[in-house]
Amino acid sequence: MFKKILLFLIGIGLIIFGLLDIKANKSKENPGYLKFVQGNALAKENKSKEALEEYKQAMDTNEDLNIKKNYEIIQSKLNEEQKQQQQNQQNKDDQKDNQKQNQQQDNQNQEQNDKNQQNQDKQEQNNNQDSNENNDQNQQDKEKNQENQNDKQNQNDQKDNPKQDQQQNNESQQNQDKQEKQDQKQKGSSGNNLTPEEKAMKQKEEELRSIMQRLEGNETQAFKNNERVLNTSENKNSENRW
């Protein structure tokens, strides 16, 4: 009994195996199966789009689930590649935008730096100009003060000179009067012993001496006046040079 059952099962297995073998042979002869094989070859070569097209044509004539699974795998891979490409492109575009913005910012910073430098140079120029003007003004004030002091000194000298001249004239006149008195005394003491001719000669000598003394006094005074005029002219010329 057991042998009959075993023989029955072996027979059924042989029948099933034969059916499967027949189906496999028919599948290999099916055009859809050939497209499936071609799609796998293209997928191995990383030609995803071409492989999908082969899988589509294979599914039109063959209902094998392996074809559909391979199609879904390659489709998912292709979608992931496209998504990665889009992301890479977006990254490149973002990088270009950032570079453009950075360049614009650098240009703005450079323009601002140039403007600040120009303002700084202008401010330094104005400061230097103001400093030069102040120095010139101070120099002019100093020269004006010096000129005023010189004028004041000259005025004081002019006030003092007449007094000194008058004092010198008075002293000269006093000396002259004193000398004349002494001469008169000598003349009175010796006049009695002189002849009329000698008295006349003596009188002429005294007159000549008196005239010479006056000439010498006038010459001295003229020399002093001339020296004072020269000093005043030199002071004015010196002030004009400043």
Contact 62, 33 (CB under 8 A): yes
| Residue 16 CB-half CA count within 13 A | 6
pLDDT reported for residue 24: 47
Supply the range of the domain harboring residue 92. 16-101
Does residue 11 belong to any structural domain of this protein?
no
| Boundary (domain end) residue, out of 68, 101, 134 | 101
Does residue 5 belong to any structural domain of this protein?
no
Highest mean pLDDT among 21-25, 116-120, 236-240: 116-120
Does residue 84 belong to any structural domain of this protein?
yes
**Residue pLDDT, tens place only, 132-162:** 887 888 888 888 888 888 777 777 766 665 5
| Boundary (domain end) residue, out of 60, 75, 101 | 101
pLDDT band for position 26 (cuts 50, 70, 90): very low
Does residue 116 belong to any structural domain of this protein?
no
Does residue 197 belong to any structural domain of this protein?
yes
For residue 121, pLDDT beyond 70: yes
Does residue 208 belong to any structural domain of this protein?
yes
List alpha helices for the chain, DSSP H.
2-29, 31-44, 48-61, 65-190, 196-241
Number of domains, the chain: 2
Instruction: Average the pLDDT over 40-64 and give the result.
Output: 90
Does residue 125 belong to any structural domain of this protein?
no
**Residue pLDDT, tens place only, 155-206:** 776 666 556 666 776 776 777 777 767 766 665 555 556 677 877 887 888 8
| Boundary (domain end) residue, out of 53, 80, 101 | 101
